[in-house]
Amino acid sequence: MNRNTSISLAGRARSFRSALAGMRVLAGSQRNAWIHVAATIAVVALGLYLGLSAAQWALVTVAVASVWTAEAINTAFELLADAVAPEFNPLIGKAKDVAAGAVLIAAIGAATIGLLVFVPEIADRMAR
């Protein structure tokens, strides 16, 4: 393996720093990211309050991660598209709409998982 392709601790640290920088860009430039922050905090707090099982936490974690992942990919796509074609381009506009639609799909899926996990738990608490 040559030096450029070897896996090193320093290289992994640089990659991790780059990923954290990307997360800061996401949180600092996207209003929707703050909605995701609030929703994530609310979901975690409610899950802790209700004492979700490991399986329920797994579902909730996948749901939250899918929304964050879709939002990050959408943001990266928008930034790249704006750099490549700063002027309006109808095809890029459609591509951006599709990427935003992916976030909506993930959010709807996450909301559905949230309902399936939390509603029975809340109903059980209220029935006591």
Q: 47 in a domain, yes or no?
A: yes
**Structural domain total, the chain:** 1
Q: Which domain holds residue 78?
A: 32-127
Q: 3 in a domain, yes or no?
A: no
Catalytic residue among 71, 78, 87, 121: 71
Q: What is the pLDDT of residues 73-95, one digit of tens each?
A: 999 999 999 999 999 999 999 99
Look-up: residue for tokens 């209700």? Answer: 50
Q: How much is the pTM?
A: 0.86
CATH code: domain of residue 95: 1.10.287.3610
Cα–Cα distance, 49 to 88 (Å, whole number): 48
Task: Check if 121 is active-site.
Answer: no
Q: What's the alpha-carbon Rg for the chain, to the nearest Å?
A: 19
Q: 21 in a domain, yes or no?
A: no
Q: What is the pLDDT of residues 98-124, one digit of tens each?
A: 999 999 999 999 999 999 999 999 999
Q: 9 in a domain, yes or no?
A: no
Cα–Cα distance, 117 to 55 (Å, whole number): 10
8 Å CB contact between 30 and 75: yes
Q: 55 in a domain, yes or no?
A: yes
